[in-house]
A and B are shown apart, each in its own frame.
Chain A
Amino acid sequence: MNIHEYQGKELFASYGIDIGPQVVARTPQEAKAAQEKMGGTVVIKAQVLVGGRGKAGGVKVAKTAQEAEQKAKEILDLTIKGLKVEKVLVVPAADIKKEYYLGLTLDRFNKKLILMMSASGGVDIEELAVTKPEEIIKFPIDASVGIDKDGLDKALTQVFEKPELISQARDVIQTMYKMYLEKECSLVEINPYGYLANGKLQALDAKVNFDDNALFKNPEVEAMRNPEENSADEITAREAGLSFVSMDGDIGCIVNGAGLAMATMDIIKLFGGEPANFLDVGGSSNPNKVVSAIKIIMNNPKVRGILINIFGGITRCDDIANGLLMATKQVDITVPLVVRLIGTNDKEGREILQKAGIEARTDLNEAVKAIVAAR
């Protein structure tokens, strides 16, 4: 799960990390009022859950209240990578002497947490990793042991020149680590981590992601969820217990299992089609899940065909067939439908569908070719 910059900074502040003043504005008027309260030059930043907002015109500087109102209006009118900007963050323009980078995440390959630091902050870290990898200092942390303090001090001297900066950064890193574990994060990033004219280091941005598997442990984290992170269909799907991701194509897919669902999408593309979605009905055999899945897919006006691909294991093909029949009674399926059933109780499932006039196939490639041709 992803949260906005302002939410991440609020979380930082609750842990005692200096974030400076900030005001969230939903209207140009609120942005104007925020500038009037802060005085001086402000920075207005779009709050969207995708990267690259700067390049998209989502970050602007305003010197006066009128300018703040105007610039906020321009940003609130933007749609960045398909997401409408609903909120902006207003902060005083800081007098920044230098921008650093701090990031803490999971190193899947080495099975450790990894702290990344750079004296070349402010830029996209992925870009920096490609262009100047030597400017990123990496420091592994074994979560069962904790931070190696001497090692960290050594790493810090490679990034921060002055002792007073090292001591500030050390405290912030300890805090980031504490927050990462307590809130079950998958990424905690401060970029830029600004060295201000007053000698202080301040978190000028925040990017925080959480482990979806651990949300049950922290209801206060779940409460920060932004509905706009997911499409309306994705939200409906989650409520129905389905794993669903919207795509741009026109063939709706219903599959059991994430790996097979991805492979089914890939094969659709291989045979000249475009998938409209990823949908994993999961391992259970609840027929209602099929009904919900059909409803969500038929709700997408782009869909010109539906492919159901089930390899029965725990999932029973007869349950899927019954779910499909229930769905046809509740939803008008106006597009071609191809069903492929194999595995547990496939014979029974096939018979159920046959009585209702639906032919179920057994071969995956043939089923995909059929739906690509039929749409």
Chain B
Amino acid sequence: MSILIDENTNVLVQGITGRDGSFHARTMIGDGTKIVAGVTPGKGGQKMDEVPVYNSVPEAMKAHKIDVSVIFVPAPYAAAAIKEAADAGVPLIICITEGVPVNEVLVMYHYVKSKGLRMIGPNCPGLISPGKSKIGIMPAKIHLQGNIGVISRSGTLTYEVVHALTTNGMGQSTCVGIGGDPIVGSGFIDLLDLFNQDANTAGVVMIGEIGGEDEEAAAAWIKANMKKPVVGFISGRTAPPGKRMGHAGAIISGGKGTPEAKVKALEEAGVRVANTPSEIPGLLKKKLG
């Protein structure tokens, strides 16, 4: 098992004819993902390789069973794409696009939720259940099928951690990049909850960074609910306050979002926080016994 996606997940790609959309759709197909349709307004009736392209999400939904939509459309149109997928009732909406205005994401966060659907991202690498399905932009080959869940606010740092796990023989059930923006569709707690319930996940790695209070809240949730061992990593311990470190959400401001507070909260909840990604497999092995 895995969470959210597996070998039977049917995927729609919004923005499939664009530069990024077509590149990643092809890569995902090569990695074994079931891409059943694409959407680009005005290009309905065309094909991207073997994948049929539709003008709108509802048109694609009429012709196919869609479980997930992954969005590659440019930032100015990303919120509209999320809304279109939500209106069509796509159960899981993954927005890869970076640089979406925060106020628009805020409105979409509540909109998607009000329809009982789930959103991941924006500004995220997507997710992968190794050996089953990859919906995103991560390199599949560094992953290994297994029983460790990974949740991260970052992209390449996740690859670093996954690489460390894989080279130590610790495969992954599902790896989820939740995104580096101030507001994202799914947070640590949403996914910890899913991993907690997943019979095939034995332990979880949680990769946080400076900014916001989500890691602290996750720590409290872990303390109260988590039945499985969790190992953490927090990046940005050297970051100066008031400076945005790349990710829109990675900023220490108003005395909030400091790495010390996050590490302290996690350690108090029984989460071992690693100093380097390379320490993670060892800490996890110890916890798993």
Residues of A within 8 A of B (CB): 50, 106, 108-109, 111-113, 126, 129-130, 142-144, 181, 184, 186, 211-214, 216-217, 243, 245, 247, 255-263, 265-270, 275, 278, 280, 283, 311-315, 342-344, 363-365
Contacts and interface: CB of A to CB of B under 8 A. Distances in A.
Nearest to B246: A258
Contacts of B160: 260, 263, 311, 364
Interface stretch (B8-16, B29-37, B39-47, B151-159): B151-159
B281 interface: no
Interface string B48-91: 00000000000000000000000000011000000000000000
Contact of A259 (B106, B153, B181, B255): B153
Contact of A143 (B107, B181, B214, B255): B107
Most chain A Cβ neighbours within 10 Å, of B160, B214, B244, B247: B160
A314 B23 CA distance: 10
B264 interface: no
Contacts of A312: 139
A311 B160 CA distance: 7
Q: Do most interface residues of chain B lie in helix, strand or loop, or is the interface mixed?
A: loop
Contact of B239 (A212, A213, A265, A311): A265
Contacts of A214: 101-104
A259 B235 contact: yes
B195 interface: no
- Majority DSSP secondary structure for residues of A touching B: mixed
A312 to B, nearest CB: 7
Most chain B CB within 10 A, of A130, A256, A265, is at A265
Nearest to B210: A262
B113 to A, nearest CB: 9
Contacts of B157: 257, 259-260, 262-263
Contacts of B139: 312-313, 343-344
Instruction: Report, nearest first, the 4 A-B pairs whose CB atoms are least far apart.
Output: A259-B154, A258-B246, A257-B156, A259-B157
A212 B244 contact: yes
Contacts of A113: 106
Interface string B236-270: 11111011111111100011000000000000000
B221 interface: no
Contacts of A315: 156
B101 A184 contact: yes
Contacts of B156: 255-257, 259-260, 311, 313, 315
Given A143-B107, A144-B110, A257-B157, 6 more contacts: A108-B249, A109-B217, A216-B76, A259-B247, A278-B243, A278-B245
B142 interface: yes
23 contacts: A106-B102, A108-B182, A108-B249, A109-B212, A143-B107, A211-B101, A211-B103, A245-B243, A245-B244, A247-B238, A256-B156, A259-B154, A259-B155, A259-B156, A259-B180, A262-B210, A262-B235, A262-B236, A263-B157, A313-B125, A313-B139, A343-B159, A364-B277
B159 A186 contact: no
Given A142-B110, A214-B101, A364-B276, A265 B137 contact: no
Given A142-B110, A259-B155, A259-B158, A213 B99 contact: yes
